[in-house]
Amino acid sequence: LFRSDAAVRVGLTQAQTEVLMKSLQQMFAAHPQANTHTDSLAEAVSHIDMCAQFCTSCADACLAEPTVDELTYCIRLNLDCADVCAATSRVLARQSRPDPSLTRELLAVCATACRVCAEECERHAVMHEHCRICAEHCRRCVEVCERAMVNTAIVV
Amino acid sequence: LFRSDAAVRVGLTQAQTEVLMKSLQQMFAAHPQANTHTDSLAEAVSHIDMCAQFCTSCADACLAEPTVDELTYCIRLNLDCADVCAATSRVLARQSRPDPSLTRELLAVCATACRVCAEECERHAVMHEHCRICAEHCRRCVEVCERAMVNTAIVV
Amino acid sequence: LFRSDAAVRVGLTQAQTEVLMKSLQQMFAAHPQANTHTDSLAEAVSHIDMCAQFCTSCADACLAEPTVDELTYCIRLNLDCADVCAATSRVLARQSRPDPSLTRELLAVCATACRVCAEECERHAVMHEHCRICAEHCRRCVEVCERAMVNTAIVV
Amino acid sequence: LFRSDAAVRVGLTQAQTEVLMKSLQQMFAAHPQANTHTDSLAEAVSHIDMCAQFCTSCADACLAEPTVDELTYCIRLNLDCADVCAATSRVLARQSRPDPSLTRELLAVCATACRVCAEECERHAVMHEHCRICAEHCRRCVEVCERAMVNTAIVV
């Protein structure tokens, strides 16, 4: 099947991607009870949310490897991490009177999910580029969660 | 409670945001059965996935408005759109032998969810900046879904 | 590690399970804009919602099989079906002024996801009991979705 | 629009509901690395998973109340609880080598989400039957999570 490059270029350009992120920051800033650190919040939410996509993609890439039988624990932890990150990013995105205990505990479990997933992905990082990238992103996500727990002003 | 600006700056910088997006493209490219248009795929996935966050945030912002009783239909459609976008972005992120019918139908329903949500948000856009931003992003998301349906090479 | 049977019996009894289902029906009936067929709605929602759990469990069981390399397409479709069913059950659970087009299209794509998943699971049903059970539930879910599309009074 | 009772009776009967629950237990038992307490696991998973539906429905019912402006905190916590329960039930449904720390922490945060939601729903229970039912189910869900944390044999 022939397709021209022009025909398939439907994605956003880099410039549009920047607009996307700035747009999310403006969205958080437009909230009637806006957090005083909406830029940090937007970045934290997008980072945790994207982690769910990295993990979903890594699980699927592992599934497509000829050595899938050696990657089943990695897939399992990828799926767990995707689910926990997705829930966490949604709760954080809600700025109207969050419950501080719930937010803090959720950030902690999100950090755990990302750490456990990163540790297993790192074991396959030399063999599989997708595991290396996923581990790297999960490690950054652990940091994002831990800093947000310390500077709770960002999220509650 | 005193906190220095430095202490709360935990988010990613713009440079790091670019790294994040490039990282997702590399993740998709590292898949053993990588789509030939991973850049477009990465942008489509991130756009649809982010739409779930815009809608989650808009629903929560509407909830915090003094005129919440005029925004209940908007909130309902925001929640629907967030759920449909979240499911769609996950299915699209899986590159290993997707089912073409499922992918196409899901993109269609995602476009519908975004269109219906955009139409209602637009009715409140003059009054509420968060509705304006959400409508704008939903409209772009309709385009992303429709183009991906035409150029199915991007997603299947 | 020794554990007494009494210690681990933390689940609900069959009687409690019945209470659970009746409870969901009462929940739907207590809605200010309650659908006239809340019993049917509750059953449809719980059936579609549970389908997500059957598929999540089947994907995980496939992952634990020694022949996982023959089950990767099944896993992929299980994960897709789980995501689509989860989104669909949430949208259906909202009774306040649903959008008829969105509801109908979503039921259609949910039926597709369940059908595609059932077809693949059936190919492994003789070998794997979990695939047999999952296929059976997915088939019932296709029926639930198709009937709800015909009798839209149940869901909109 | 006329519709006969027969035409709309598309839901499952009580007998079929029992089949559904027994079916989920059989699904968990058919896992190659099946937990020794699959009945308890099936009940825990279905209870936590259903809690997401109770909360989704309560949020939507609150939204439809004329006094919605007094119920915004309840709606917010309902949405949080739904997201956390959905993620928790998915992680628990995976029996292949779960991470004990992640499972335990996730059950703890799920208990917190349910407790916080129950407390707020209880404040509206006299006025709104949906809040009373939701609070009741959330309270039971707290128990399910806490017992599963003690008797970890059920979930790991």
Contact D60 B66 (CB under 8 A): no
Contact B72 D64 (CB under 8 A): yes
The chain D residue lying nearest B56, using CA atoms, is D79
Question: Considering only CA atoms, which of B32, B31, B53 is closest in space to residue B42?
Answer: B31
The ipTM is: 0.91
A63-76 residues labelled b (16+ CB within 10 A) or e (exposed): bbbeebeebbbbbb
When computed from its CA atoms, the radius of gyration of chain D, rounded to whole angstroms, is: 17
The chain A residue lying nearest C59, using CA atoms, is A76
**Per-residue pLDDT reduced to its tens digit, C35-74:** 889 989 998 999 999 999 999 999 999 999 999 999 999 9
Q: pTM of the prediction?
A: 0.93
Cβ-based burial of C65 (10 A; exposed 0-12, middle 13-18, buried ≥19):
buried
Residue of D86, D101, D112 with shortest CB distance to A87: D86
d(CA C87, CA B82): 9
Residues in chain A within 8 Å Cβ distance of D94:
76, 79-80
| Residue A98 to chain C, least CA–CA distance (Å) | 22
Q: B9 or B139: whose pLDDT is higher? A: B139
Whether D80 has a pLDDT exceeding 60, the answer reads yes
**Per-residue pLDDT reduced to its tens digit, B145-155:** 999 999 888 89
Binning pLDDT at 50, 70 and 90, where does residue A43 land?
Answer: confident
The chain A residue lying nearest B52, using CA atoms, is A90
The chain B residue lying nearest A152, using CA atoms, is B8
Residue of A86, A98, A105 with shortest CB distance to D108: A105
Helix (H, G, I), strand (E, B) or coil at D49: helix
| Residue D97 to chain A, least CA–CA distance (Å) | 7
Instruction: Note the Cα B56 to chain centre separation in Å.
Output: 10
Q: Which chains touch B (3 or more CB pairs under 8 A)?
A: A, C, D
d(CA D132, CA D110): 19
Whether B88 has a pLDDT exceeding 50, the answer reads yes
Give pLDDT, residue B68: 98
**Per-residue pLDDT reduced to its tens digit, A59-106:** 999 999 999 999 999 999 999 999 999 999 999 999 999 999 999 999
Give pLDDT, residue D60: 98
Contact C72 A63 (CB under 8 A): yes
Q: A9 near B40, Cβ under 8 Å? A: yes
d(CA A106, CA A89): 10
**Per-residue pLDDT reduced to its tens digit, B42-52:** 989 999 999 99
Whether C134 has a pLDDT exceeding 50, the answer reads yes
| Residue C79 to chain A, least CA–CA distance (Å) | 9
Q: Which chains touch D (3 or more CB pairs under 8 A)?
A: A, B, C
D2-19 residues labelled b (16+ CB within 10 A) or e (exposed): eeeeeebebbbeeeebeb
Select, from the ranges A17-26, C6-15, D143-152, the one with the highest average predicted confidence (pLDDT): D143-152
Give pLDDT, residue D35: 87
| Residue C153 to chain A, least CA–CA distance (Å) | 31
